[in-house]
Structure 1
């Protein structure tokens, strides 16, 4: 079976001999369509590189990211410190690598929280309609009525600044669009003939939602999540910049910019380099999301 996965003729066969062959053939065609989109391919490569840097930070870092050395503060980029040092003599390159762990970790935590919640709320509202739809959508509207950053700042300030509070705050303001998207998809699916056939076999509503409706909503949800990751990165960095996210000495990109913004004109490398990291990560996820949208949801391409 594994050898067949590298057989182009087997993957592109017009008459597959098994469900596995048909499934792998579809995946291979999607990959071919995605590969033809060069910007999306560059975005995927950049995202993989960022994740690799975050995972391998202890191996790639040349210095301890939190060790201070005031005798070497604000040094420009050199062979000893590839991206220079900050106001406390800490190596910017090492802090950037560990900052990828913090920032991307927060983004992944938000996605893990909001994607299932938004999918479940939207599918339940769209399938049952009636009172369930009205109640769930009104709750969604309440969260959408507040500016995201203001609501997140209020939540974090009410609890305690920190990464955990920032993740929960971002999650609270991010799930409503996913719920609305899943609801719209569900309302177009619930009356389809194959759903009616499943219902006639005696399947329960919960089984229909979990096994037959949610999988059909995943394509659009994955596209939306990927496109939103850039906004979540900027959101997390904004909370860190305002002092409500990751707290010093944690090497989070937004926090790094906040503590070094006064050196922008003289020691430009200290605030500029984490800003470039945020830009590159956001752009990479946007390019990747655009490519996935064209492949998984061609109606919006």
Structure 2
């Protein structure tokens, strides 16, 4: 009786990536990345989220070439004000006869600016507070976690409103306010990861070799906490977008005539019954981008979080 045919073996670059005995650390990392990508692509919703985020990056980068009109200069107020979607103005015009499609396209730059800056500011703060608190313990842990609890006790938007009211309206101050209110969850996650790591055998071995506390924290603990933080930051980006839009809606974020999506929704609420597209189109943009980051975050959690693996 003939045996079953042998399974096809990977060849070429794929075989090199899937090698059970990598020749270098670089090859091993690329192999893990390839396996992670294969796992990620098995989730169609995660791929959809990645596509939305990539589209946001593309639109923000090439806004000058995509937008057919100026985002701040309107047309003739007598004939082009509050026009419905048409072949000339794909998403209609607003109360200043400005093309809504062009304003949404340019507004993606503001959204991306807020997301990137908040992530750059808040993530290192939360990572540093969490790892130091979890590794050192004692009174340091108590003080840092009570400060974290104070920030967590207030809703993010309410706390951001307080900081923006103190700093003054503007997109830069809005970014600072959102970043100040965003780091506590990252600190909690980093602390939880550190508590599981600090008593590990490899940490004890590093201590026996004479490594200092800062070297252990930044060289061994922090890298192991990054994957969990990447997932949380990606999931939080939808909340960052909504908070920035909320501040813009209240007139405390980007100032007119800047094409910020929240401010556009605020302008459109005065015409919601008859000229629904003025508020609905930027609101739809906020919804789609927030959904994209949520779907992407869920996919990254399945890949990067070993505790979530099925």
After TM superposition, the score normalised by the length of structure 1 is 0.96
Question: What SS class does the counterpart of residue 199 from structure 1 fall into?
Answer: helix
Partner of 1:65: 71
Alignment of 1:119-130 (within 5 A): 119-130=127-138
Matching residue of 2:28: 22
2:306 corresponds in structure 1 to 298
Aligned length: 297
Q: Select the residue among 106, 109, 119 that pairs with 1:101.
A: 109
CA distance in structure 2 between the partners assigned to 1:19 and 1:152 by the alignment: 43
Q: 1:171 Cα deviation (Å)?
A: 1.0
1:191 alignment counterpart: 199
TM-score norm. by structure 2 comes to: 0.93
Residue 159 of structure 1 and its aligned partner are, at CA, apart by 2.0
Listed one character per residue, the Cα deviations across residues 219-262 of structure 1 (whole Å, up to 9, x for unaligned) are 10000000000111111101111111111111000000001112
The alpha-carbon deviation at position 6 of structure 1 amounts to 7.0
Q: Deviations 1:152-192 (Å, cap 9, x if unpaired)?
A: 11111122111111111111111001001000100100110
Secondary structure at 1:146 match in 2: coil
Query: Which residues of structure 2 form unaligned runs of 5+?
Result: 1-10
* 1:52 alignment partner, one of 50, 54, 58: 58
What is the match of residue 264 of structure 1?
272
> How far 1:300 moved relative to its partner?
3.2
Measure how far apart 1:298 and its partner are.
Answer: 3.3
**1:267 to partner: Cα distance:** 1.1
Deviation at 1:17, TM superposition (A): 2.2
Q: Does 1:35 align with 2:14?
A: no
Q: How far apart are the structure 2 equivalents of 1:213 and 1:6?
A: 36
| The structure with more radius of gyration | 2
> Which blocks of at least 5 consecutive residues in structure 1 are unaligned?
none
Question: What is the alpha-carbon distance in structure 2 between the residues aligned to residue 238 and residue 104 of structure 1?
Answer: 16
Distance apart, 1:144 and its partner CA: 1.0
Alignment of 1:1-301 (within 5 A): 7-69=13-75, 70-71=77-78, 72-300=80-308
